[in-house]
Amino acid sequence: MSTEQIKSIVESLVQPYLDQHGFELVDIEYVKEGGNWFLRVFVDKEGGIDIDDCGRISEYLSEKLDEKDPIESAYFLEVSSPGAERPLKKPQDFQKAVGHHVFVTTYEPVGGLKEFEGVLAEYNEQELVVEIGKKKHAIPVGKVAGARLAIVF
């Protein structure tokens, strides 16, 4: 089974619980690090998530994964907050991030750059605009390789 299929199954298993309890699914990763596989589920909620929330979600998801048993190899399940530099993946993530400091990478140069760190000034389905200093950079959504909130020091 592919990584994308596993992520899709995990999402279908955990989403009803998250919806029922007011949580937001931010991201799912299924990755091999060293000799071990890790299934990481990143969750948030209004006001932030705490360790007890992570524990309850982990217990629920662990039971569902044991019932369905979609993953053949051994793995470690981790449920956590996405952190202060949470990834921006879905359109609603970008919409919420307008006005906030972001870090964006692109698959190919846009205006000679492949990395943009500044304020997300605008977002629509076709492009996002990152303001760096007084200059605005329009980045086609299809060229975005990765995006996350960024902390300014």
Confidence band for 72, pLDDT divided at 50, 70 and 90: confident
Q: Does domain 91-149 have CATH number 2.30.30.180?
A: yes
pLDDT digits (tens, 9 = 90+) for 99-109: 999 999 999 99
**Sheet strands (E) in the chain:** 24-33, 36-44, 76-80, 101-110, 113-123, 127-132, 135-140, 144-149
| 39, 75 Cβ separation under 8 angstroms | yes
pLDDT tens-digit series, residues 18-48: 999 999 999 999 999 999 999 999 999 988 8
Q: Which CATH class is domain 3-80?
A: alpha beta
Predicted local confidence at residue 64, as pLDDT: 95
Domain ranges of the chain: 3-80, 91-149
pTM: 0.79
